[in-house]
Chains A and B, each alone.
Chain A
Amino acid sequence: MSESESSAGYLDMDLLRFTTAGSVDDGKSTLIGRLLYDSKAIFEDQLEAMEKSSKSRGDENVNLALLTDGLRSEREQGITIDVAYRYFATPKRKFIIADTPGHIQYTRNMVTGASTANLAILLVDARKGVIEQTCRHAFIANLLRIQHIVVCVNKMDLVDWSEETYNGIVEDFKKFASRLDNIVEITFIPVSALLGDNVVDKSENMPWYQGPSMLYHLETVYIGADENHIEARMPVQWVIRPHSDKWHDFRGFAGRIAGGVFKPGDAVKVMPSGFESTIKAIHTMDGELEEAYAPMSVAITLNDEIDISRGDMLVKPNNAPEPRQDVDAMICWFSSTKKLAGRGKYILRHTTKEVKAIVTEVKYKVNINTLHKVEDDLIFNHNDIGRISLRTSAPLIADSYKTNRISGSFILIDEQTNETVAAGMII
């Protein structure tokens, strides 16, 4: 039994969410399969089912993609069509993998997987080097503000473990990445997912590489600074009113902290009304807290009776966001049946608030292979990314996505079908 499984270690673990994008060809499934298998997250019966399934499909090796491609249509077509979430843990961390297909027609799945990730693994086939797909994945990771990137140069066994080949890829990627402003840290790791070199253990075939193995990096990368702990934000989800004798006057504003630190006694401002009060207490069923920060779920009581409801936001008076009805945003269009056009009207959901929104301007689309702006074709089809302006029916208490992923993001919903048609990042 390893240490992760003893309770003491388990209770101290933190959580890293990461995303991988790629196709079967570049060894993504092999890499994930190896991480899962070596950390004992794949079980015997799953492996058995996979072997059985691979054999009946005529595959020579066990196809690890069968582990994630659980839907019948995916198995039939041999492709991943959706985001699959996978879990594993080591003595240091628990990991949630959002595994997404890499092909251009699944851009929206990559965007979805990236939206909650702290880190992205980009796979590069050492024989092919940095290709269009690599740049596309890096662009999306940057757009969704994933701060930590790992460029995994895979199939090093097929280039004779060549340091020169590896260095060439590192240089090519760095040149491209200089344009990506949200990425805080890029780590390059040469691996052979198939043979296991530098996946869990350091490779003996590449003595020239001094860096960490993939797993060691995932276990130790520092993500404590990823959340915004400066600007206090708590979107109100629900008002807790017990109506009981014991809690007669209790009015708790329940929500999940989206930024900053709240403490009892702190001055707070309620947006959009602008009323101010101070925090009386921060409640949980386990007792009152001395401070609360992202991503905790709490209930806050105030010292003054103020009318507050779902959709309002608790902030601090010294760094309150300005309410605004005009927003510019980068969006990714999701709908395969409807297109975005100028003057389109949608329901916009931002934090816990829902408003109506009208598209006032379509500025440009991005060709995500060349990263060039497209200004002559402004119709958004599914998977298109670009910049638009919106006017909302009521003010949004929003930050830029750059400063806060929660208060800076929204989705657009089609009024007729209720389908989520776009994801937006406020500029």
Chain B
Amino acid sequence: MAKDYTITHLKQLESEAIYILRETAAQFEKPVLLFSGGKDSIVMAYLAKKAFWPAKLPFPLLHVDTGHNFPETMEFRDKFVEEIGAELHVASVQKAIDEGKVTEETGPYASRNGLQTVALLEGLEEGQYDAALGGGRRDEEKARAKERFFSHRDAFGQWDPKNQRPELWNIFNGRKQHGEHFRVFPLSNWTEMDIWQYIKLENIELPNLYFSHERECFVRNGVVMGITDFMELLPEEKANVKKMTVRFRTIGDATCTGAALSTAATLDDIIDEVAAARQTERGTRADDKRSETAMEDRKKEGYF
């Protein structure tokens, strides 16, 4: 029998992502890779290293910094960036607030998540980037299920879901008018499980927030939140702060990223946990719970 020329599904996803990353470098004048310090953007940056190896990344990383970070995220970010030999730019939400460009929400439910969009768009404009690579996956949320690899944004950074360009085979149309730009999602076809299995396969280092640890937490709307300096607690929440054994399934703004009660301390534990989980990972993000189409609304405005 003839040799069976097939590759495993993880290798297919890897190859597809590398192809998208190379297309992005080739089709755009000034791409940038959005780096949050979360596992998806870590995997994406790692794949970018593979795509252009042995040369360096032909584009910088951009971190949209809400100023509400867990300290571990920042330490990890700087170390990681140095290791892959990339250039890092920071778009600061704090700066946008200080400059009076945005008004911060106040009160216990205050979140800087909405302001991220402003800082992101500013960061993109300042750097004159015409394509921003994001780690979004279609399995994360229903509004993302119809997202393209090359997602066109108008001059205001807005997404028009009804007017998306069709994507056939592996031909991607990145042509645009002056002032318009693209979001590019190389991990579109990956699932959460794929990401974890790939991290294990490739032995990629992650921030320790992803692994089980003890932390002062409280519960809001059924979501476990870590205590930080940036968050105002309601009296009954204050009364119920306690040490919990948790880990984070996504890493975003500390004020709206919920923790999961978990004892998963290793990659294998996490993989078992993800396999058994009956909640999608965005289920722990308070920002998506605001309305049924919350994600679509934020995406239309220019969110990742």
Contacts and interface: CB of A to CB of B under 8 A. Distances in A.
A283 B277 CA distance: 38
A63 B189 CA distance: 24
A112 to B, nearest CB: 5
Q: Identify the interface centre among A87, A223, A240, A255: most chain B CB within 10 Å of its CB.
A: A87
Interface stretch (A208-216, A290-298, A362-370): A290-298
Interface stretch (B44-52, B111-119, B229-237): B44-52
B197 A10 contact: yes
Interface stretch (B29-37, B94-102, B141-149): B141-149
A204 B108 CA distance: 57
Nearest to B271: A7
Contact of A405 (B56, B145, B169, B201): B169
A11 B5 contact: no
B155 interface: no
Interface residues of B, number: 71
A410 interface: yes
B188 interface: yes
A419 B165 contact: yes
B145 A5 contact: no
Contacts of B83: none
Contact of B176 (A93, A409, A418): A418
Interface in B116-131: none
Given A349-B171, A423-B166, A93 B9 contact: yes
Contact of A70 (B12, B143, B197, B276): B143
A89 interface: yes
Interface string B252-268: 00000000000000001
B292 to A, nearest CB: 7
Contact of B268 (A7, A71, A244): A7
A100 to B, nearest CB: 11
A278 interface: no
B26 interface: yes
B5 A237 contact: no
A242 B173 contact: no
Given A73-B162, A242-B56, A418 B173 contact: yes
Contacts of A261: 5
Given A70-B143, A84-B145, A261-B5, A89 B162 contact: no
Interface string A321-342: 0000000000000100000000
A5 B275 CA distance: 6
A170 interface: no
Interface stretch (A12-20, A188-196, A269-277, A388-396): A12-20
B301 interface: no
Contacts of B22: 237-238, 254-255, 297
A103 interface: no
B287 interface: no
Interface string B282-303: 0100000000110010000000
A263 B279 CA distance: 45
A11 B19 contact: no
A250 interface: yes
Interface in B1-47: 4-16, 18-19, 22-23, 25-26
B8 A85 contact: no
Contacts of B191: 87, 89, 94
B10 A11 contact: yes
Contact of B272 (A5, A85, A255, A297): A5
B78 interface: no
B74 interface: no
Contacts of B143: 70-71
Contacts of A112: 166-168
Given A43-B278, A44-B279, A241-B55, A411 B168 contact: yes
Given A10-B193, A70-B143, A238 B25 contact: yes
A298 B19 CA distance: 9
Nearest to B267: A7
Contacts of B276: 1, 5
Contacts of B293: 70-72, 75
Contacts of A286: 50
Interface string A23-66: 00000000000000000000111100100010000000000000
A297 B168 contact: no
Contacts of B171: 349-351, 409-411
B242 interface: no
Contacts of B193: 5, 10, 89
A246 B54 contact: yes
B53 A285 contact: yes
B19 A297 contact: yes
A54 to B, nearest CB: 12
Interface string A89-114: 10001101000000000001101100
A256 interface: yes
Given A94-B191, A297-B18, 17 more contacts: A1-B275, A10-B193, A15-B13, A69-B142, A71-B296, A82-B161, A85-B138, A109-B166, A224-B6, A237-B19, A246-B54, A294-B5, A296-B7, A297-B19, A352-B26, A406-B170, A409-B171
15 contacts: A1-B275, A4-B275, A5-B272, A7-B268, A12-B8, A44-B278, A53-B292, A73-B162, A82-B164, A86-B145, A223-B6, A247-B54, A255-B22, A256-B19, A297-B22
